Copies of this chain bind each other. A is one copy, B any other.
């Protein structure tokens, strides 16, 4: 492993000069600069990032902490974060919290111990509630998926309440009356989307059928079980809305198991436009979130803040889109 001292010796300068050259600092004679660079190339020297980090207290790693690594939403976000990071010379560390506050905290601590430059966090509900912990992290944080104005962080999100309202209203306006809803339990987005859902019912003077409104672990199997219960009710729903694509998959499976037909017997609409939502027949009506944009924006906000910690905080709200397909009979 060739180190800065080797380069300095070979170039006949001090390590300080090599360091200056590599950091493109001023006050180095052109001739010396070139000589050093030549040696760097020749020896194939690469600075030890760990030593740089320890000495200068700054790293080129950003972290992405998500609640479910297998949710297509976060997959697309990761891709965007990775792209943006790579463009700026950062690499990304990915952590999965499984919506578990203990795991989340342990993960955040570990990241701080590694002195990462900053983190993009999709916080669990509990974390949101004791939000004051985040400043204690003492590093730049961008929060995705959740409004947090009284905090020294940037955030990027969509209007979950409004989006759920639009999706629900769409169903109502096409004649559905007994609309069931399955929302992610313990997740921020789940409860916000529930809120929009309820509001839409209210705005259309529909009395919510509480037995049709459920919270479930945002995964396929729980979506399935919950739906089976709904379908076995005496008066089953004529439509179901879910707060993410994993739940929707479970609903679909349950509907099929029950030999019902979409949209004739029951309609289905969900958040997140996945490939699968398009491929299904009938294709699914969804709220499309700008997932790639969310990830890229978060990464760029974070990198800007790392470069200028005094920058004012900002909140970026991105627009969603209702994509109307055949799963609700339109």
Contacts and interface: CB of A to CB of B under 8 A. Distances in A.
A93 interface: yes
Residue of A53, A91, A111, A274 most packed against chain B (CB within 10 A): A91
Choose among A46, A54, A59, A76 the residue with the greatest number of B CB atoms under 10 Å from its CB.
Answer: A54
B91 A110 contact: yes
A265 interface: no
Contacts of A76: 70
Interface stretch (A159-167, A192-200, A236-244, A276-284): A276-284
Contacts of A92: 93-95
Point out which of A46, A48, A83 has the most chain B C-beta atoms below 10 A from its C-beta.
Answer: A48
A95 B109 CA distance: 22
Contacts of A48: 54, 113, 115
Contact of A113 (B47, B69, B114, B115): B47
B69 A95 contact: no
B249 A279 contact: yes
Given A96-B79, A279-B249, A91 B69 contact: no
A50 B114 contact: yes
B82 A75 contact: no
B70 A86 contact: no
A131 to B, nearest CB: 19
A91 B78 contact: no
A69 B50 contact: no
Contact of A50 (B95, B115, B138): B115
Contact of A275 (B49, B79, B276): B276
Contacts of A69: 75, 78-79, 82
24 contacts: A46-B109, A47-B113, A48-B113, A49-B110, A49-B114, A50-B50, A50-B59, A54-B54, A69-B79, A69-B82, A82-B96, A86-B103, A86-B107, A91-B110, A91-B111, A91-B114, A92-B93, A92-B94, A92-B95, A93-B94, A252-B279, A276-B279, A279-B280, A280-B281
Interface of A: 1, 46-51, 53-54, 59, 61, 69-70, 75-76, 78-79, 82-83, 86, 91-96, 103, 107, 109-115, 138, 220, 249, 252-253, 274-276, 278-281
The 7 A-B pairs at the shortest CB distance, nearest first, are namely A276-B276, A94-B94, A49-B113, A82-B96, A93-B93, A49-B114, A50-B115
